[in-house]
């Protein structure tokens, strides 16, 4: 297949949107946390926990959307722990985040082994199926890519719009952004910086968990130990790449996913026969690092990101 043929094929763009979906959820989650001033490095572990929680809930008999709700709730609970440790106690967000990732991952693996002892391969569930939107899905290339996806993918796009509206058009969004830019001003308004930040971390962590659940409930139909595989860390890079803005972050996630889909197809071409497959697999991580280096100079970091707020200190 010619390289250009790949780029104009509908299946390529459909794959790109599918790959982007979990990243969109988790990137929005991280973005909400960071806009409120908290770097959430628990993201990788929270995605693992969400992937497991949603899947096991459906396996136990809940409907698919019930599974999504369970994943969201598990994410919120883990976010709550992160929030309490990092906000009122002001502990190092790096250490708390890494600790949360270790805790969430090991709790997930432990629960898996307790619930499913002695299974050689994990059971499958009836995952979300593609839902073709009438008329729109018939548009050439764009139709199959955007309008013949699973409901969870549509939800990811809705989430970007909602996040953007709430952040920029509501008093709540203003309070969240102010907590990340100028917490003293928030406190002067009589609002609780602590409550706003913990709330943002909980909701954001919920989104991350749903991003993980996308993997087990929409992209695949089962749970594997290494399935998140660094996606959380990539989402942190995507937030920087998107300059902490939902729209730009969405664009970054799609670009990134398109590149990922492209490298998978490149492996099938004559180039793939010469270049070791590991080089292709490295690409997403290298691209993330490159994005960080290019964007770091220009990025508008929330002024109070990683700065604990202790009332009465200033």
Contact residues for another protein, defined by CB under 8 A: 41, 81, 85, 88-92, 94-96, 98-100, 102-103, 105-107, 109-110, 113-114, 117, 194, 229-230, 233-234, 236-237, 240, 276, 278-279, 281-282, 285-286, 288-289, 292-293, 296-297, 310-312
Looking at beta carbons only, is 217 or 234 nearer to another protein?
Answer: 234
What is the rounded distance in angstroms from the CA atom of residue 184 to the CA atom of residue 293? 31
Looking at beta carbons only, is 127 or 228 nearer to another protein?
Answer: 228
Looking at beta carbons only, is 133 or 294 nearer to another protein?
Answer: 294
- Residue 216 Cβ vs another protein, minimum distance, rounded to whole Å: 19
- Residue 300 Cβ vs another protein, minimum distance, rounded to whole Å: 13
- Residue 297 Cβ vs another protein, minimum distance, rounded to whole Å: 6
What percent of the chain is helix, strand and coil (3-state, nearest 5)? 70, 0, 30
Show the tokens assigned to 150. 């699973």
How far separated are the first and last CA of the chain, in Å rounded? Answer: 63
- Residue 49 Cβ vs another protein, minimum distance, rounded to whole Å: 12
Show the tokens assigned to 80. 């709550």
Are the beta carbons of 1 and 268 closer than 8 angstroms?
Answer: yes
What is the rounded distance in angstroms from the CA atom of residue 211 to the CA atom of residue 61? 21
Looking at beta carbons only, is 143 or 284 nearer to another protein?
Answer: 284
- Residue 199 Cβ vs another protein, minimum distance, rounded to whole Å: 16
Looking at beta carbons only, is 29 or 144 nearer to another protein?
Answer: 29
What is the rounded distance in angstroms from the CA atom of residue 299 to the CA atom of residue 82? 25
Looking at beta carbons only, is 73 or 103 nearer to another protein?
Answer: 103
- Residue 145 Cβ vs another protein, minimum distance, rounded to whole Å: 28
Q: Outline where 170-311 has alpha helix (H).
A: 171-181, 183-188, 193-214, 231-241, 246-266, 270-274, 277-296
- Residue 313 Cβ vs another protein, minimum distance, rounded to whole Å: 9
* CA 288 vs CA 237, 291, 311: distances in Å: 6, 5, 37
Looking at beta carbons only, is 92 or 269 nearer to another protein?
Answer: 92
CA angle 25, 31, 34 (to 5 degrees): 145
Are the beta carbons of 227 and 220 closer than 8 angstroms?
Answer: yes
């Amino acid at each position: 297949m010619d390289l250009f043929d790949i780029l104009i094929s509908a299946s390529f763009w459909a794959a790109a949107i599918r790959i982007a979906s979990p990243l969109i959820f988790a990137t929005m989650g991280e973005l909400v946390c960071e806009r409120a001033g908290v770097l959430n490095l628990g993201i990788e572990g929270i995605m693992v926990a969400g992937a497991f929680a949603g899947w096991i809930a459906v396996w136990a008999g809940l409907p698919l959307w019930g599974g999504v709700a369970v994943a969201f709730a598990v994410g919120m609970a883990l976010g709550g722990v992160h929030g309490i440790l990092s906000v009122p106690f002001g502990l190092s967000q790096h250490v708390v985040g890494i600790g949360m990732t270790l805790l969430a991952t090991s709790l997930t693996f432990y629960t898996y082994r307790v619930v499913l002892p002695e299974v050689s391969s994990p059971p499958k569930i009836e995952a979300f199926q593609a839902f073709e939107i009438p008329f729109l899905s018939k548009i050439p290339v764009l139709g199959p890519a955007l309008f013949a996806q699973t409901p969870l993918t549509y939800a990811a796009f809705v989430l970007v719009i909602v996040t953007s509206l709430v952040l920029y058009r509501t008093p709540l969004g203003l309070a969240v952004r102010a907590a990340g830019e100028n917490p003293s001003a928030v406190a002067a308004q009589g609002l609780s910086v602590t409550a706003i930040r913990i709330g943002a971390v909980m909701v954001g962590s919920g989104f991350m968990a749903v991003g993980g659940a996308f993997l087990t409930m929409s992209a695949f139909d089962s749970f594997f130990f290494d399935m998140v595989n660094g996606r959380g860390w990539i989402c942190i890079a995507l937030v920087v790449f998107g300059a902490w803005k939902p729209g730009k972050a969405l664009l970054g996630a799609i670009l990134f996913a398109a590149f990922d889909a492209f490298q998978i197809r490149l492996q099938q071409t004559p180039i793939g026969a010469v270049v070791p497959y590991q080089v292709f697999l490295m690409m997403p991580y290298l691209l993330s690092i490159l994005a960080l280096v290019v964007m770091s100079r220009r990025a508008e970091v929330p002024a109070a990101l990683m700065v604990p707020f202790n009332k009465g200190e200033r």
